[in-house]
Structure 1
Amino acid sequence: MLLVRNLLYWLLVLVTTPIFFILLLLAAPLPRRKRHVIGQSWAQLLTWALWHIVGLRYRVIGAENITAEPGVICAKHQSGWETLSLQQIFPAQIFVAKQELLWIPFFGWGLALMNPITINRSDRSNANRRMQQQGLNRKKHGFWISVFPEGTRVRPGLRGKYKLGAARMARQLDMPLLPVAHNAGEFWPRNAFLKHPGEITVVIGPAIRPQDYAGPEAMTRAAEEWIEARQREIGGVGPFAHPDERKARHAHSRAA
C-alpha cells in the first residue's frame, strides 16, 4: 500500500510539474507577486497530496511567532518536504538557492520564475553583495526569505555547520529572523523515492531581531542553539530517526 500511495504521488508530480511550468511561463509578464501565486499553488498541491495520498501530515507549534512584517526564515534542512510545506505555513516567500538548481528541466526553469535569490558558489567574493541586492528587491515586493543555514540537507540527529548568510541578510535588510525546527527527514529521507506516513512536527521560534544582538555571529549562534534544542525534543519518532534520538525518546516515555 505504501508503494501504491507513493506511485500516485509521483504520478501527480510528473503530470503537474510541466503544467504549472507552462502556467508560470505564460504569467512571466505579470508582477512578481501575481506570478508567484502559481508556483506557490503547485507546492501547496503537493503538500496536500503528501497529506491525503501518502498520509504524511504535519502539525505546527509556535505559529503565533510569525511576525506581521516579512522576515528571514532560518530553517533546518532534512528533506524536500520543507521546500514545499514552508510555502503553506508561512506567507509568500522566496528561497535562497544554488544557481545549479535553475538548470533542472521544468522544476529549475519554474524556480527561476519564482524570484529566488541565487548564489554562485564558485564566486564567493561577490555572493554576499548579490544576496543583499536581490534580498532588498524581494523585501520591497513583500516577500519573506527562506534560508537553510546548513547549506545542504542533513540527516536527522546530525548537525551541519551553520553559516552566517541568514543572519547577515536579516541585519542588512533589517528583517526579523525566525528559527524553524522540524523532523521531516525522519519520514522523507534524502533522495528517497518512498515517503512514509506519519506526523511531522514543525516548531517556529520567537523572532531574533538584529538590534538585540552584537552581530551576525551572535544571531546565528542563537538560532542554532534554539533549533538544535528543539530538534532533540521532537526527534526520534519517524522510521528514519537517528538511533540515539529514538533511544532517548523511548527512555523518556518509560520514565514518564
Structure 2
Amino acid sequence: MSTITLALRSALFAVGFWVSLLIYLPILPVVQFLPMHQRFLILRGWNWMAVHWLRLTCGVRWTVEGTVPEGGGVIIANHQSTWETLFLPLVVRGPVFVLKRELLRVPVFGWGLALARPIAIDRAAGRDALKQILSQGRERIAEGRWVVIFPEGTRTAPGRIEKFKPGGAMLATQNGARVVPIAHNAGCAWPRKGFIKRPMTITFRIGPVIETEGRGASEVNAEVEAWVRAQLATMPCPDQGA
C-alpha cells in the first residue's frame, strides 16, 4: 500500500475521530450526574467507536489473548501508542488510568477522561506524584476498580522498552492487590508521534494474575517487567513495506 494511500486513510480516521468527539460534547454535561457504572457504559461507547472506525478506515485489527478477572487491582502494561488507551476500557470495566495532568486540558477528549476519575499527576512532581498514585490508587482499588499504570512513563517505539518504574508494584504490594501484566505491539500500527496508521493485527496479550501478598515491590516489579519483555520479544512488527 502506497504512502499516499496510507496518509489519506489516516486523515479520514482523524476526521471521524474528532467528529465523534464533537458528537459526544453535548452528552458530557449530563454524564457527570450519572452513577459511575453508567458513566463508564456511555464513555466506553466512544472508545468502541474509535477503535472500530480505525479498523474500518486504516485496517487496524486486534486479537486479545487472556482475560482480566472481575474485581480490582493493578494493571501494568507497556506503552507504545494511543491505541491501547482507547482499547483498554473495552476489556476492563471502568479502568482508572494514571496519566499526566495535561491530558485533562485537551478539549472534549480531556473532559471525557476527567469523568472517569483518573489519577492525574504532575510528572515533574517526583515523590509527590508517587504519593498521589499510592493514595488515590488505594481508594480506587478499595472501590473494586483496576488501576492502569504504564511504568515506562512515556510511549516507546516498538522493539524498545524502558526500565519499569516501581510505582505500580508499590501500589499493589502496599494493598495486597493483584497485578495483571499486559503486553502489546500497538506501536507497530499507530506509532508514537506518528500520523500514519498501518494496517495490521495488533496482539494484545493479558498475562496471568500475579499475587502480591507478602511480597516486596522490587520483586513484583521485576517479575512483571521480565514477563512483558519476554512477550514483546515474540511480537515483531509485521512487514510494513509500501
TM-score normalised by length of structure 1:
0.86
Cα deviation, 1:226-252, whole Å, max 9, x if unaligned, reads 000110011232539xxxxxxxxxxxx
Find the aligned partners of 1:188 and 1:147 in 2 and give their Cα distance: 20
1:202 is matched with: 204
Q: Runs of 4+ in structure 1 displaced over 3 angstroms? A: none
User: 1:13-32 residue pairs with structure 2 within 5 A?
Assistant: 13-32=17-36
Cα deviation, 1:172-222, whole Å, max 9, x if unaligned, reads 333211111111111111111111111111111111111263x11111100
Cα deviation, 1:75-112, whole Å, max 9, x if unaligned, reads 11001110011111222212001112112222222211
Amino acid at match of 1:234: M
Kindly indicate whether the alpha-carbon contact (under 8 Å) linking 1:71 and 1:145 is maintained by their aligned counterparts in 2: yes
Amino acid at match of 1:102: L
Structure 2 unmatched runs, 5+: none
2:14 is matched with: 10
Give the alignment partner of residue 167 of structure 1, picking from 166, 169, 191: 169
Matched, 1:52 2:52: no
Give the alignment partner of residue 120 of structure 2, picking from 89, 97, 118: 118
2:179 is matched with: 177
Amino acid at match of 2:232: Q
Find the aligned partners of 2:105 and 2:81 in 1 and give their Cα distance: 20
Amino acid at match of 1:123: A
Amino acid at match of 1:70: G
1:254 is matched with: none
Matched, 1:35 2:36: no
Amino acid at match of 1:40: R
1:231 is matched with: 232
Alignment RMSD, CA only?
Answer: 1.8
Number of matched residues? 237
Find the aligned partners of 2:70 and 2:91 in 1 and give their Cα distance: 14
Residue 74 of structure 1, CA deviation: 0.7
Find the aligned partners of 1:165 and 1:238 in 2 and give their Cα distance: 35
Residue 6 of structure 1, CA deviation: 2.0
SS at match of 1:122: helix
1:245 is matched with: none
Kindly indicate whether the alpha-carbon contact (under 8 Å) linking 1:21 and 1:107 is maintained by their aligned counterparts in 2: no
Amino acid at match of 2:201: E
2:151 is matched with: 149
Kindly indicate whether the alpha-carbon contact (under 8 Å) linking 2:73 and 2:144 is maintained by their aligned counterparts in 1: no
Residue 168 of structure 1, CA deviation: 1.2
Amino acid at match of 1:43: N
Kindly indicate whether the alpha-carbon contact (under 8 Å) linking 1:135 and 1:173 is maintained by their aligned counterparts in 2: no
Find the aligned partners of 1:67 and 1:29 in 2 and give their Cα distance: 28
Structure 1 unmatched runs, 5+: 241-256
Residue 24 of structure 1, CA deviation: 2.1
Find the aligned partners of 2:25 and 2:214 in 1 and give their Cα distance: 42
SS at match of 1:181: strand
Kindly indicate whether the alpha-carbon contact (under 8 Å) linking 1:71 and 1:170 is maintained by their aligned counterparts in 2: yes
Find the aligned partners of 1:152 and 1:172 in 2 and give their Cα distance: 24
Percent of aligned positions with the same letter in both sequences? 37
Residue 144 of structure 1, CA deviation: 1.4
Find the aligned partners of 1:191 and 1:238 in 2 and give their Cα distance: 20
Give the alignment partner of residue 97 of structure 2, picking from 58, 74, 95: 95
TM-score normalised by length of structure 2:
0.90
Find the aligned partners of 1:238 and 1:221 in 2 and give their Cα distance: 31
Name which of structure 1's ranges 22-31 and 155-164 shifts more when overlaid on structure 2.
22-31
SS at match of 2:160: coil
